Amino acid sequence: MKIKAAVLREHGKGYKIEELELEDPKQSEVLIKYAFTGYCHSDLSIMKGHIKMPLPMVAGHEVAGVVEAVGPGVTLVKKGDHVASTWMIPCGHCPTCRSGMGNLCLTSFDVFAQGTMLDGTPRMRDAKGAPVLHGAFVAGFSSHAVMPETGVVPLPKDFPLEHAALMSCCIPTGWGAVHKVADVRLGDRVAVWGLGGIGLNIIRAARMRQAYPIIAIDLEKSREKLARELGATHFICNADVDPVPVIKDLTNDRGIDFAFDAVGDPGVIEQAWWALAMNGTIVLIGIMGDEQKVNMSLQLSPFHHKDMIGGLYGGISTHDDIPKLTNAAMRGDLLLEKLVSGTFKIEEVNDIAERMEKRQLTGRWLCEWR
Ligand SMILES: [Zn+2]
Ligand SMILES: [Zn+2]
């Protein structure tokens, strides 16, 4: 079938809207008609080439839609089901899956990076018949996509699809960073650098865990209002001031127990390191470019028991946690109506990327497929 897609052909050069040919789903694969695709900061990192992916590719990894067709052997979903996608697909059998870390599935990780289906081949071709790769199994910036049936999670039909899209990345990544990677407890002192979609969900999750204080830090003062609405108790604009002494003041000179870097920046890590309390931990969520280096002394780290830990996809178990998070959202706990700031058409995706790069966007912006 013919589909519309934003194709990334060269890092740093933006997306090109193209008509592609999409094959039918094969064994254990499904065809999804997308409804909404979120624009995540990782999409910008891939477009700019800070995260290098094989090209040409249809990126985009935060999607919800409706099952339009199923291939042979599909048992997990049926035509008409509403689904959210997942950008890592646990095989369930490898050592990391068996240890409960399906976000690091040894079977799927390399396939995820190469941009194909699980059989090693793509399902999309361009007008010249050349293959086009699937970003993170999902190929979110396309009107329709084929993906493994294990890459979608069925959700209730009365859950709005624009909220369902957020279940694919920013909600589980933010929630999981707090609940699973850090395991924030009652009264833990928390600071979050970077108030994009994931940073805001970290704040919400920290609030639900009764952390205090929850200090939101961003270069843009305009992001304070939404951060406070989602649960931040304090805000620091680090374009104006060094946040380290302010954090020390707010914590009786002790520092914070958890610093979440939702930016992916050496300067943030340095600020976070000096803001940590003894036995504190930096949780690395944002992704730095390969050329970015952190240059600082770690001499005091063993003395102070300071730690640093990465968190991919919030360490979640996709098919267990996304339905639970959907229930929390349907109860109103996640404040998703505040998180979605606007929608755009796929033809506007380069404009959205530019506005994100200039930090002009607040909350989450979604491509709406009609
Ligand atoms: Zn994302
Ligand atoms: Zn696995």
List, for residues 149-198, the tens digit of each pLDDT value.
Answer: 999 999 999 999 999 999 999 999 999 999 999 999 999 999 999 999 99
Over residues 98-152, the pLDDT tens digits come to 988 888 999 998 899 899 999 999 999 999 999 999 999 999 999 999 999 999 9
Q: Looking at the predicted structure, is the pLDDT value of residue 79 above 90? A: yes
Indicate the range of 49-53, 178-182, 270-274 predicted with least confidence.
Answer: 49-53
234 CA from centroid of ligand 2 (Å): 40
338 CA from centroid of ligand 2 (Å): 35
Indicate the range of 243-257, 286-300, 326-340 predicted with least confidence.
Answer: 286-300
| CA end-to-end span of the chain | 17
Share of the chain above pLDDT 90, in %: 89
Domains in the chain: boundaries = 2-168+335-368, 174-311
Q: Do the domains spanning 2-168+335-368 and 174-311 agree at the CATH topology level?
A: no
With vertex at residue 367, the alpha carbon angle to CA 145 and CA 220, rounded to the nearest 5 degrees, is 135
313 CA from centroid of ligand 2 (Å): 15
253 CA from centroid of ligand 1 (Å): 34
Is CATH 3.40.50.720 the classification given to domain 2-168+335-368?
no
pLDDT, residue 370, reads 82
pLDDT, residue 109, reads 87
Average pLDDT value for residue range 6-30: 97
297 CA from centroid of ligand 1 (Å): 31
CATH superfamily of 174-311: NAD(P)-binding Rossmann-like Domain (3.40.50.720)
Cα–Cα distance, 327 to 164 (Å, whole number):
11
30 CA from centroid of ligand 2 (Å): 20
Cα separation values, 172 from 88, 324, 350, Å: 12, 10, 26
309 CA from centroid of ligand 2 (Å): 21
Ligand 2 (ion): residues with CB under 5 Å are: 91, 94, 97, 105, 107
Q: Looking at the predicted structure, is the pLDDT value of residue 290 above 90? A: no
Residue 297: CB atoms within 10 Å: 7
Sign of the CA dihedral running 239, 292, 215, 250: negative
Ligand 1 (ion): residues with CB under 5 Å are: 40, 42, 169
Q: Is 250 helix (H, G, I), strand (E, B) or coil?
A: helix
Cα–Cα distance, 6 to 346 (Å, whole number):
7
319 CA from centroid of ligand 2 (Å): 13
**Residue-wise over 15-35: b if at least 16 C-beta within 10 A, else e?**
beebebebeebbebbbbbebb
Share of the chain above pLDDT 70, in %: 100
Over residues 85-97, the pLDDT tens digits come to 999 998 889 999 8
Note the Cα 223 to chain centre separation in Å: 19
Over residues 196-248, the pLDDT tens digits come to 999 999 999 999 999 999 999 999 999 999 999 999 999 999 998 999 999 99
